[in-house]
Structure 1
Amino acid sequence: MSESAIADFVTTFIPDTATHAEPVRGRVVMSKRQIVLVTSDDRVVVPLEGVFDVKHASAPGDLAKFFEDTVTIGYERDGQKHVAVVEGGGDTVDRFVTLVFKALLNGTTVYAKHPARRGGRITDESFDTADLFLVPDAVELRGATSARIVVSTVTHFERLERDVGGSSRPLLSVRHVGDASAVTTELALDSSRRMNILGRFLRLQYAQLKQDLGDATLSDDEVEALVAIYSTGPDVSLAGVLGVDVSHLTMLLSDLEEKGFVVDENAIEHGSTGPASQARQGTVELTSLGQAAVSEHLEDVNN
């Protein structure tokens, strides 16, 4: 490849399910314009402008005998549709999937209404243009409409038909938790291909968080503590808000940290580790899993 590679790793893959019955070993090289699957005797080019779907999940059907997890890339080239399947386990492939979504979506112009709803109330906001970017743990809108959709706070999304600029068109309606309340953002993209990819990105992140939540257990006290962390500022005493003594709060925060729902930002900054303590009450932050737990709780309350 003549252009700079932003991903380059060795794994097992099926370059094209129409021409390869079994996986082969080779290199996956990605630039800003294409993905190239290279084997000892072949080279398959996947143009990013032709990618219409990306899935990262357990291997489907007959492929399960070859892979546990896969990244499936549907793409069009020379007027024909193709499917490539890449072995999907490990941090390297996770980063590759993120890079693919960013390459496909970053900088895309969208028509956005934010918020279209606040709680159950329809707002009088109108659609305006923005540029869409994927950033760590969030979808950002930058432009005339500015918004940040933290993926872990998304509680529902669906495709709808709405009047945008005088004509009916499909859009993605995303309900998420804003400043302690549920809001809905509506996004319309000119490209149905990119609309599908954005929906796939949200479904992928949403499914993973729901699975992680399903694998975890939280007591009522722990849920209450997570909501208090979300709702209060750094200068507010969590012990006072929760009506517990400091020793009990320390135990709650320590358990939540061990389960992956909170992190001590002060400890990270100073390179220290260990259980939650009284001194860190103002620095404790929700992880993406903690935000997802709060979102699910608030959604249950609102319903």
Structure 2
Amino acid sequence: MSEGERKLMDDRGQYLQAATDGRDIQDADWTQCRIVLTTKRIVLIADEKQVIPLTDVDDVGGRFDVNQNAAGVANYVTLHIDDDVMLLRAPEQEAFETDLYRAFLDNTLIYVQHPAVKGGVVQGTEWQRAKVKLTDEAIKLAVADGQYVTIGRDDIGDVETDERTVDGAERRIFEVEHTDSEDRSVETHITGEGQQITILEAILEEGVERNRANLDLSPTEQQIVMALHTGVSPFDIPDFVDEDVREIEEIFDRLIELDVIETIRERTEVEMTSRGRQVASEEMGSQ
């Protein structure tokens, strides 16, 4: 390995050459190999050795189901290298993809606006440079002003994109909704240069899918979640969605189980007993 190069992963795996020189390979099949990933290259060792410098990779992520051999596999990562397309898979696919994204992103500098939005209110914060570190659980950002921002990869609620001028250049912006250290809904806006945009998009899309995979909300449940997010009181929800209180309480219980909402304070519902009515009557009679 070259000076400063570190090995991130060395494991068995498979690759499928899905396209060469812009031409799809219809009869492509998976080849067993050893995958060695470093901070500078991907090495595939089978009957022959292929070396792919990370700087040659133009795009990462997204499915490329060139045939049934590819379509029949649940998870793989797609590499676009000029006019070639390579699919890779490993026994621990999520860990492999995290290591691959780390190889591209770790310790690079991107642009960050945090918090861009807090509690639904635009904050007017300035763009700053931030150093990136990726873990299995989070995207960690060390911002130039001393902030340390953590975006949990299981905590990405939504990602919108926009085009804006940052540092004198028109850039693609990712508006990432998540929660901060005090469990408040915030948006962190991030962007980068060249290859960074491709990798950030793949990581953020995967984070959104992690959340979607765990949820199957009904239209009423979706309406309730959006109402709570925009500040409607939980006590006003029955009138807001025109549902019975008991039905809303059952929905709240389900949303709590799904970790979509949490209980802050229990409200005790009471009614008078016969003894209570007697006490009240005596009290009223004494006035």
Which residue does 1:118 correspond to in 2?
118
Higher mean alpha-carbon deviation, 196-205 vs 176-185, is at 176-185
Identity across matched positions, percent: 22
Q: 20, 25, 38: which is aligned to 1:31?
A: 38
1:220 aligns with 2:223: no
For 2:12, the equivalent position in structure 1 comes to 10
Q: Distance in 2 between matches of 1:167 and 1:8?
A: 39
Q: Is the 8 A contact 1:10 1:25 kept in 2?
A: yes
Q: CA contact under 8 A between 1:8 and 1:28: conserved in structure 2?
A: yes
CA deviation after TM superposition for structure 1 residue 61, in Å: 4.5
AA in 1 matched with 2:49: R
Could you tell me the TM-score, scaled by structure 1's length?
0.64
Match of residue 194 from structure 1: 196
> CA separation of 1:32/1:168 partners in 2, compared to 1, >3 Å: closer, same or farther?
closer
User: 1:48 maps to which residue?
Assistant: 54
Partner of 2:239: none
CA 1:167–1:101: 2 relative to 1, 3 Å: closer
Matched position secondary structure for 1:17: strand
Flag the 1:202–1:127 CA change in 2: closer, same or farther, 3 A: same
More helix, by proportion: 1
- Does the CA-based 8 Å contact 1:34-1:46 persist in structure 2? yes
RMSD across aligned positions (CA): 3.0
Summarize deviations over 1:149-198 as a string: whole Å, max 9, x none: 12222222122122323443322211222333321111121x22211210
- CA drift at 1:66: 7.3
Question: In structure 1, what residue type is equivalent to 2:56?
Answer: G
8 Å contact from structure 1 (residues 53, 200) kept in 2: no
> Given that residues 51 and 74 in structure 1 are in contact (C-alpha distance below 8 angstroms), is that contact kept between their aligned partners in structure 2?
yes
Q: Whole-Å Cα distance in 1 between the matches of residues 12 and 86 of structure 2?
A: 15
SS in 2 for 1:22: coil
Decide whether the 8 Å contact of 2:110 with 2:131 is kept in 1.
yes
Structure 2 residue aligned with 1:176:
178
Distance between the aligned counterparts of 1:72 and 1:124, measured in 2? Answer: 37
SS in structure 2 of the partner of residue 242 of structure 1: coil
Structure-to-structure mapping, 1:247-258, within 5 angstroms: none
Could you list the runs of 5+ residues in structure 2 that have no partner in the other structure? 222-249, 269-287
- What amino acid sits opposite 2:54 in the alignment? L
Is the 1:52–1:194 contact (alpha carbons within 8 Å) kept by the matching residues of 2?
no
> Equivalent residue for 1:95?
95
Q: Which runs of 5+ in 1 are unaligned?
A: 232-240, 245-303
